[in-house]
Structure 1
Amino acid sequence: MLLLITACGSGTAATGAARLTSCGLPLDIPAPPRRAVAMEQNAAEIMLSLGLAGRMAGSAYRTDPVLPELAPDYAKVPVLSAQYPGREALLAAKPDFVYSMRASAFAPEAAGSRQDLAKLGVPAYLSANDCEDHALIPARAEFEAIFKEIDDIATVFGVRERGQAVVADLRRRLRAAERPEHLDADVMWYYSGTRTPAIAGGTGLPGTITRLLGARNAFADVDKQWAEGNWEEIAARDPDVIVLADLTRGGDGDSAEAKKRFLRSDPVAARLTAVRNDRFIVVPGSSVDPSIRAVTAVEQVGRGLTRLFGRKENA
């Protein structure tokens, strides 16, 4: 997404006006927002990491405990809804900017389309990883896109130096993440569900993390971020390691412990190499999509693979 600062002579810095294109939709932002709404947790955590709690009129759809370092600021922001607020609840907060990393936030039953919000004078930014038009989504989720998004949001709010500092720290951590030595392993990422499990395909963040750590995604050939799996096919591929997304929403197979119980009790899943050898790595559910937590997922999976297969020293 290209961010262009609009200028009138030398007045750009003073006005803070911005024009950008988000998932194909042009957005005009006349001044740094003062009453922004984050429509889900990952968007909220990026804003809070940029020190923007005082400019947030609301947040919504918390899926995991908030990062400890952000929890005090998160507590200062009104919660508009346990999930996505509807159009009426959103507009009641009088937002001047709306931000989500998920297109579902702008469904008709949620906030409504970004085009309609723009007509009301409310620019709405959507992560490139989940554009409404799937043709606009990059072929793979990459860390550079996350860093660019953080820079976009920081620039919109006039805090670009903070954004650069956040990105620099994330880059440092990414370089320092542990990597196993001479790794020869197939990894399956298991998000949710039991009878029909949601498994990471080859185009999403889990695939990027797996490649970065020198492993193989057991479902790299599936041209989707997430796909419905079946246990017979999973058994045929027989992954060496299973990464379990730990979700707190309480649905079937959501928590990591619920997944483990199912895997150990199901007659097909129990025969998997990863299950028989107790090769599980647990990550928070919110870290498996592009967000401020993505580097944490690299660190956690890198440590887990190192525990299972040995260590590789980083340059």
Structure 2
Amino acid sequence: MILSRRGPGRLLCLSALTGLILPMAALRADPAGFPLEIANCGHPLQVAAPPARAVSLGQGTTEILLSLGVTDRIAGTAIWLDPLPAPLAEAGAALPRLADNSPGFETVLAVRPDFVAAQWINDIGPGESRVGSWDQFADFGIPAYVSPAECAKSAFNAGSGDGARSQAWDMALLEQEIAELAAIFDRPEAGAALIAANRARIEAVTAGAEALRGRDVSVLYWFSSPRIEGEAYVAGRLGAPGWISQVTGLRNVIDSQEEWPLVGWETIAALDPDVIVLGRMERRSLPGDDVAAKRAFLERDPVASRLSAVREGRLIEMPAQSMNPTLRAVDGVEVLAAGLRDLGLAP
């Protein structure tokens, strides 16, 4: 990431951020602090002034903006999995929702945005995208930003979506996104506070990680399925669940660079994870979205029902949003740690 605030060349030290974030930002500023330039997915992004009418495409992006306290500057949102978590529910209660999934380009333009931020490279990117390309938004003078979590995927320029990662997702990528959005909205102190709070929460729940690692406790994350009786979208080792496993001391049984590979239950049965984490969401675009349907399948399927995690009731429900590379992955660490305690697997 390269951050610069164009001006007469005078260096600014943002002490609120530099003490918390790994050395990833060099800032230059004029007295007003803008225009701001960011290298985003290798694409030069210029922001003339803090956005007043932003559109956020992806619940993860929306939740970061709400956490930074810029609710009144969000003109539209899209791509939702679940209700907002309790700490953000009041602030986001009246957010304009353009679509539950990916909106059309004209729908976004209709709210007259001066900035668009996307959680997924499939929605905004260098080429053909579900919503619009960087060039399409640039034609209307609208800066378009993509989460750094997407920039870390293999061949992101081709719109990799949920594809393979060339870099494991971790808190450094989340902190980069928070810091960049905080800079764009001129809220550096709020960004620093959010980063510090996340670090404290993670530290508070990972005390038993070494003991779990020593016992080689394994886990499978089941997000959803295109057919409930068929293959399952399960977490590979480099996405957010891989990071959650690492910090809690578990071993993900799926050793794939794909973020959400489709895997058959015969393969899963051979791996026989100690714990299965079930994605819970309100979205109903796939048959496997319903956590009750997941549980019913595990109980009746002749292969899945033989898994030791199923037979011994070692199933933990987790909000699906916490399995995505977003702010809610921190919640995922807390949910998993609490579930492991309830199962008697962690102190």
TM-score if structure 1 supplies the norm length? 0.93
Q: Determine which of 242, 247, 255 is the counterpart of 2:276.
A: 242
User: 1:218-251 CA deviation, whole Å, 9 max, x = no partner?
Assistant: 01x2121110000110111111100111121123
C-alpha contact 1:190 1:242 (8 A) present in aligned 2: yes
Measure, in 2, the Cα distance between the counterparts of 1:115 and 1:273.
Answer: 51
Q: CA 1:191/1:97 → structure 2, altered by over 3 Å: closer, same or farther? A: same
Q: Does 1:186 align with 2:218?
A: yes
Q: Which runs of 5+ in 1 are unaligned?
A: none
Alpha-carbon shift at residue 184 of structure 1 (Å): 2.6
CA contact (8 A) 1:37 1:59 kept: yes
Q: Partners in 1 of 2:100 and 2:93 — Cα distance?
A: 14
Could you tell me which residue of structure 2 aligns to residue 283 of structure 1?
318
Matched, 1:140 2:168: yes
- The equivalent residue for 2:199 is 171
User: How many pairs were matched up?
Assistant: 311
Shift of 1:207: 0.9
| 8 Å CA contact 2:153, 2:166 repeated in 1 | no
Query: Closer, same or farther in 2 for the Cα pair 1:310/1:202, shift >3 Å?
Result: closer
Letter in 2 for 1:269: A
Give the match for residue 25 of structure 2: none
Aligned partner letter, 1:189: Y
Identity of aligned residues (%): 38
Matched residue of 1:263: which SS?
helix
How far 1:115 sits from its partner (Å)? 2.5
SS class of match (2:123):
helix
Answering whether residue 72 of structure 2 is matched by residue 44 of structure 1, we say no
Cα distance in 2, alignment partners of residues 255 and 176 from structure 1: 31
Distance in 1, Cα, partners of 2:282 & 2:94:
22
**Residues 128, 138 of structure 1: 8 Å contact kept:** no
Question: Secondary structure, in 3 states, of the residue corresponding to 1:226?
Answer: coil
Runs (4 or more) in structure 1 with deviation over 3 Å come to: 107-110, 135-138, 178-183, 309-312
Alignment match, 2:159: none
Three-state SS of the structure 2 residue aligned to 1:222 is coil
Q: CA deviation at 1:133?
A: 6.9
SS state at 2:180 partner: helix
Question: Secondary structure at the residue paired with 1:98?
Answer: strand
SS at match of 2:297: helix
Q: How far apart are 1:73 and its partner, in Å?
A: 2.0
Read off the aligned partner of 1:5 and give its amino acid letter: R
The residue matched to 1:104 in structure 2 has which SS? coil
Tell me the C-alpha RMSD between the 2 structures.
1.8
Do the aligned partners of 1:16 and 1:158 also contact (CA within 8 Å) in 2? Answer: no
Any idea what the Cα deviations from partners look like across 1:26-63, whole Å, max 9, x if unmatched?
A: 10101111110001211111000000111111111221
1:165–1:13 CA distance, 2 compared to 1 (3 A) = farther
Indicate how the Cα distance of structure 1 residues 241 and 97 shifts in structure 2: closer, same or farther if over 3 A, else same.
Answer: same
Residue 260 of structure 1 pairs with residue 260 of structure 2: no
Q: Which moved more, 1:118-127 or 1:224-233?
A: 118-127
Distance 2:152 2:175 in 1: 21
Distance in 2 separating the partners of 1:311 and 1:61: 35
Aligned-pair CA distance for 1:13: 4.3
Q: Does the C-alpha gap of structure 1 residues 7 and 109 become closer, same or farther in structure 2, counting only changes over 3 Å?
A: closer
The worse-fitting range, judged by mean Cα deviation, of 63-72 and 229-238 is 63-72
CA distance in 1 between counterparts of 2:129 and 2:173 reads 28
Deviation at 1:311, TM superposition (A): 3.4
Deviation at 1:186, TM superposition (A): 1.1
Pair 1:85 & 2:100 matched: no
Q: 1:115 — aligned with what?
A: 135
Work out whether 1:232 is the aligned partner of 2:252: no
Q: Which moved more, 1:33-42 or 1:243-252?
A: 243-252
Cα distance change, pair 154–138 in 1 and its aligned pair in 2 (3 A)? farther
Cα deviation code 1:10-39 (max 9, x no counterpart):
562414321001111110101111110001
Change (3 A) 1:14 1:200: same
Q: Structure 1: how far apart are the matches of 2:106 and 2:343?
A: 50
Counterpart residue number, 2:346: 311
Structure-to-structure mapping, 1:69-84, within 5 angstroms:
69-84=87-102
Higher RCO (CA 8 Å, separation ≥ 6 residues) = 1
Q: CA deviation at 1:138?
A: 4.8
Structure 2 segments unaligned to the other structure (5+ residues): 11-28, 157-164
